[in-house]
Amino acid sequence: MCKVLFIRAEWDAEAGVWVARSDDVPGLATEAETLEALSTKLESLVPELLDANGYPDGPDIPFELLARKFSVAYRAVH
């Protein structure tokens, strides 16, 4: 079984997009408006980047996408 690649996604509130980076995928820096769109984008971008960096061939490239978003909840004023 191939190593599972770890990809981090963080919400950029100013830009209104999810930003993905990974130490396991050289050159990976991409963004999308939703997590679903980001995941779909990664499914094509990750193999392209690995091929460009000479990583071993294999039929499948498993990856884990960990998303993090900081928010603030406000109490109702009584």
DSSP state, 47?
Answer: H
Reduced to 3 DSSP states, what percent helix, strand and coil does the chain have, rounded to the nearest 5?
25, 30, 45
pLDDT tens digits, 24-73: 999 999 999 999 999 999 999 999 999 998 887 778 899 999 999 999 99
CATH of the domain at 50: 3.30.2390.10
pTM of the model: 0.85
Is 61:3 a contact under the CB 8 Å cutoff?
A: no
pLDDT score, position 35: 97
Residue 1 has pLDDT above 70, yes or no: no
46 domain residue, yes or no: yes
Residue 20: domain span: 5-68
pLDDT score, position 36: 97
Overall domain count for the chain? 1
